[in-house]
Amino acid sequence: MPAAIVQYVFKPNPGCDIGQLMGLVKEAATLWRTHGAEVRLWSVQVGEVGNLAFTAGFESSAQLGATLDKLNSDPEFGAWRVKNIKAGLATWVRSNQAYEVLI
């Protein structure tokens, strides 16, 4: 079965408290993992240097959908979203959702 992944790329705002930003990322990772995602954080080294990419991987698109349903129904995740926006520590660059092509 083809795997699926979602990616959220963001850039820390100039002068932000990186420790505080990493705390928010860790909170998000915990919430995603609770609902079934395999989470990683990537630091962009070539191209858009300085960006970070938060990825959540899944064994299938069905698992991705189930995780998104659970996550978006979780009041803790809703509260995290508000806290993250209010913190103003990073700027969204892009998001991607991709499905593995078996070759």
Q: Is the pLDDT score of 1 beyond 90?
A: no
Within the chain, what is the greatest distance between any pair of CA atoms? 44
- Residue 81 and residue 65: Cα distance in Å, rounded? 19
- Beta-carbon contacts of residue 3 (< 8 Å; ≥ 6 apart): 57, 58, 59, 60, 99, 100
At residue 94, the pLDDT reads 97
pLDDT at 34 over 90: yes
Write out pLDDT tens, residues 36-66.
999 999 999 999 999 999 999 999 999 999 9
pLDDT reported for residue 101 = 96
Provide the token pair at 55.
Answer: 């990825």
Distance of CA 14 to the CA centre of its chain: 20
Question: Which residues, 6+ apart, have CB-to-CB distance to 27 below 8 Å?
Answer: 80
* Average pLDDT across the chain, whole number: 97
Q: pLDDT at position 99, please?
A: 95
Name all domains of the chain by residue range, CATH numbers in brackets.
Answer: 4-99 (3.30.70.100)
Per the DSSP assignment, residues forming a β-bridge with 95 are 8
